[in-house]
Chains A and B, each alone.
Chain A
Amino acid sequence: MMDSPRTAVSNPPVQPMETNLTPRDLVRRSATAELPPPERQLTPVAKLIDVSKCIGCKACQSACVEWNDTHPEIEENVGVYDNPHDLTENMFTLMRFTEWINPENDNLEWLIRKDGCMHCADPGCLKACPAPGAIVQYSNGIVDFIHENCIGCGYCVKGCPFNIPRISKVDHRAYKCTLCSDRVAVGQGPACAKACPTQAIVFGTKEDMKSHAEERITDLKSRGYENAGLYDPPGVGGTHVMYVLHHADKPHIYANLPDDPKISGIVQAWKGVTKYVGLAAMGVAAAGAVLHGIFGKANKVQPEDEENAEKLVDAAEGRKEDA
């Protein structure tokens, strides 16, 4: 069995290879109550982003666009280095630049954080998702969106403690970093980690990444960053994308990285098994059509949308009883 890749430092194969991420490797599937347990456990993987080694060059963004064949818009300059200005359905990762004056020594620090999906062990997006199989989690930790199943409701956006998924204005489906699941499936690391010039982004097993982080933290402490540390937030069960931060005691200074991310209480509360069943029952095609009508225009979930969704689910449940 080909297990999870250990590094992104390899050249991709061109000969046909069997994919290593299949539905049999799922540990979670959105709006699916009874998922058979996976036949095997892949070694958990992680991407480690060492903010202290990052030069903000955006090679990760570039490699991401090229690998995923996305088309980010050419926007205007609004007086910042962050371009595009936000994550979009065509830009799965983004360097966020913060000019921070360290109050302890009055020195400027230019904090540059690569933003993108954290691949939470306890994924809020997946939990919020009402569309069966639109969001899945593999046993190696990757949280992936299966776009064919997506109904574009935007609940994943609401469910995400890091504000990552974006809904396409074209096909009204949700997009985000896949951790290059197509590369990982054939033993390769993500495109961003492969490209990263200073190897501020590295990829491997979560265990290896944690020990690599320890080395980095030791180095940073030797350079006077007493609060250097690993960002692997327990509030979401840990993440499969982690940061080494020079100031791990205050993650928020890095372009509002949440200090203690948790899945929103509303998301936890509004969902129930009945709703999964309800949506599954009405069939994705039908639900997709109806929900697109409701949510397709607005990409954020409004309170009245939630109300409509509740009604829809209720109606679907009613239909199930009829069936």
Chain B
Amino acid sequence: MTNAWTDIKNTDLVVVMGGNAAEAHPCGFKWVTEAKAHRGAKLIVVDPRYTRTASVSDYYAPIRQGTDIAFLNGVMKYCIDNGKVQWEYMKAFTNASYIVKDGFAYKDGLFTGYDPEKRDYDKSSWDYVLGEDGFVTTDPTLAHPRCVWNLLKDHLAPYTPEMVERICGTPKEKFLKVAEMISECSTPTKTMTSMYALGWTQHSSGSQNIRAMAMLQLILGNIGVRGGGMNALRGHSNIQGLTDLGLMSHLLTGYLTMPSEKDETFETYMSTRLFKPLRPGQTSYWQNYKKFMVSFQKAMWGDFARADNDWAFNYLSKLDVPSYDVLRMFELMYDGKVNGYICQGFNPILAFPNRDKNTKALSNLKWLVTMDPLETETARFWENHGDFNPVDTAAIQTEVFQLPTTCFAEEEGSLTNSGRWLQWHWAGGTPPGEAKHDTWIIAQIFLRLRDLYRKEGGAFPDPVVNLSWDYADPNEPTPEELAKEINGRALTDLMDPADPTKMLVPAGKQVLNFSQLRDDGSTMSGCWIYSGCFNEQGNNMARRDNHDPDETGAYLGWTFAWPLNRRTLYNRASCDLQGKAWDPTRKIIEWDGTKWSGYDVPDIAPNAKPEDVGPFIMNQEGTARLFTRGLMRDGPFPAHMEPFESPVANVFNPKMRGNPVARVFQTDAAQLGQSDEFPYAATSYRLTEHFHFWTKHNRVNAALQPEFFVEISEELASEKGIEKGGWVRVWSKRGSVKAKALVTKRIRPLICDGKTVHVVGIPLHWGFTGAAKKGFGPNSLVPFVGDANIETPESKAFLVNIEPTTPPQEGIA
């Protein structure tokens, strides 16, 4: 989230699209009802289903899943055509005026440079025209035909209300009503917030869904302001933290990136990451990359990371593929190329697409370790549960270690919420039986491995035996010790660069924040963006001052938000070019002639003059990108792409299937279904009564929503002879499930490109362990393809068939 949950109360219009906030984030949704009740805000819901969020909306419009880009492009076009643009903001704070190279174009659903063999673009033409000074050429009048603004207008031209209706199935008048309501937020004193979640990410073009809305928000001047922003409602309590801390195949901490094989030396690695400004005077914060990187290496390997060994750069892996994401790992496992796997608090057998493939993949492992507070289907993937898990137990040779862990109530530490708040919590209960903290388990395995490497030697033991592990009790590092390491400390006395006689931080003391980190090995910090969380002032994540001066919703004294306790990202954009708030009633910070100050920590150097430095300091441009150059694999503008399994062809290019650059493995390509065999458009989602596959273990939530079901329209039910509460079989090219039928008026057939499209809704909370009735997950049906940029599976749009059936059998199949 660019903004905080508590900031949503400041909005005038909430657009819930690509999410279902009332159901998946009820207590965050409270701030929507607050805005409605006390600001007169309106709520729009755009969703294939009339959800519980829709039930309290002011306006609902249906949409076919997987067509959000067409809808949003249509809204952008409406706003531009009707002059509903916050011109001053858009001109100054985006790259609208930048001139783009002549070669770049878009035709037949594809951008310039497409190579169907490689399934990839040559992106060299997707770039700016640079002047002799090395800066981008611009035309502030926006008259130049090759400026971003004019290219964008051309790109959006086909997305008329009629085209939106044709692709999305949204009736034209409903689309126009939504577009009109949104366009009203183009004035500086009216703002809109976007609340989205996996309804946008779980598509092969998921990243572009989000980009389209971000661009709309920039055109309307709604980024960086109170009550505005792009608010990704993350699904798990610390999924934000794990991403920030780089527990991903392609990342290091704080969005530093893993080296690739091209980064042969530390120098090459740094040369591709030290981004220089593309416009005069801009900050381009990544110029500090080396300070963060060296401090990170020092946190990992202490004295073993030295200037003379390139800070132990060679201890890091270098990737030969963009990432070993979960889809790639399960593909490798399916191919028999993975021997062991550790699932920590994760249930892939229900979470990953194509369950049948996952079961086969896990069956190919020599050993599997699970760490969880609860039973999981993954730990018991070898156990036969009749129709619910029809495996041949004796044939599965995988050895399984199931390790019991503590849960939240029995442990201490911080979790990072969607609004980037790092909140500390304390243990309140004794763990059951022999359940242990995850940190203890990890430490125990690590210490054993380190001992084995010390005793036996082996493959490159250095990064393991030299890993910094100087905790008071190496058997179980404490949360405080780890948090202090994440924050970072001075390794030698740090003197003030402006006044070398002045000591900033004595050796051994915690750094104040990342501004004190150095690239000479004199500081260490596990994760630079978290620096400031636990400094010499103490554990800032444990702060509990809930005062909110003038009720802005900022709560600066409550816990700690990254970066630097900042609550609204890009908040300098809340002010005009002179540094005055666009909306004086919604001031965040302002320029007083010498410095920035206000209710939040300014997202700009405190003394950076407003007319000189742009608000988007993480970008080389200093502005936000309406045209994203070659930074995204599937195009610099969002373009309509159909899901890989779609009931209709892509109207721009009927031969194009899915995202043209998304990775598809050979075996999965053969398992994509066609609409003649699988005519219905399925989608998957959470229900408010459950959290993933956890709460089915809880008798209360199991009682509130006891059994797996699918939701279909009255029209489809009558067409297929399906009765309310009766059993149905739903199957795709990859699998089959049995469910109870919930026949509802909340799903209606859509007309897309002249064809009737029926939607089948499949919630995701059931399995074969726990207190609730045994059931299936939608992942049995979902295709094994991911988003082109980040490999998030396309769980929100795929094809199925449906028919009435008999109950599933529990016994051995």
Contact = CB atoms under 8 A, between A and B. Distances in A.
A55 B53 CA distance: 7
7 contacts: A57-B688, A74-B772, A77-B705, A78-B724, A83-B704, A112-B52, A112-B55
B235 interface: no
B26 A59 contact: yes
B73 interface: no
A109 B57 CA distance: 10
Given A53-B37, A223-B58, A76 B745 contact: no
A65 B703 contact: yes
Interface of A: 52-59, 61-62, 65-66, 71-81, 83-84, 91, 99, 101, 108-110, 112, 197-200, 215-216, 219, 222-223
B30 A198 contact: yes
Interface string B699-735: 1111111111100000000000001111000000000
A99 B745 contact: yes
B55 A56 contact: yes
A75 B708 CA distance: 12
A54 B23 CA distance: 11
B706 A71 contact: no
A108 B55 CA distance: 9
Contacts of B742: 77, 79-81
Contact of A58 (B53, B688, B723, B726): B688
B503 interface: no
Contacts of B699: 71, 74
Nearest to A61: B704
A262 B706 CA distance: 35
Contacts of B52: 55-57, 110, 112
Contacts of A199: 30, 33
B703 A76 contact: no
Contact of B707 (A52, A62, A65, A76): A76
Given A77-B706, A108-B746, A110-B55, A65 B700 contact: yes
A286 B725 CA distance: 45
Interface string B758-787: 000000000000011100000000000000
Contacts of A74: 699, 702-703, 706, 771-773
Most buried by B among A74, A216, A223: A74
A83 B689 CA distance: 10
B689 A222 contact: no
Contacts of A58: 688-689, 704
Contacts of A66: 700
Given A58-B689, A101-B745, A77 B55 contact: no
B811 interface: no
A307 B784 CA distance: 68
A57 B725 contact: no
B77 to A, nearest CB: 27
A62 B701 contact: yes
B631 interface: no
7 A-B pairs closest in CB distance: A79-B725, A79-B724, A77-B707, A197-B26, A110-B55, A55-B22, A78-B725
Contacts of B744: 99
Contacts of B703: 65, 72-75, 83-84, 91
Contact of B709 (A62, A79, A198): A79
Query: Max chain A CB contacts within 10 Å: which of B29, B703, B707, B741?
Result: B703
B27 A197 contact: yes
Nearest to A80: B742
Contact of A198 (B33, B702, B773): B33
B50 interface: yes
A314 B706 CA distance: 47
A198 B746 contact: no
Given A77-B742, A80-B742, A222-B40, A57 B22 contact: yes
Q: Which of B55, B741, B771 has the most CB of A within 10 A?
A: B55
Contacts of B26: 55, 57, 59, 197-198
Contacts of A223: 58
A108 B53 CA distance: 13
B743 interface: yes
Nearest to B55: A110
A66 B701 CA distance: 11
Given A55-B55, A66-B700, 6 more contacts: A57-B23, A74-B699, A79-B724, A79-B725, A84-B703, A200-B33
B700 A62 contact: yes
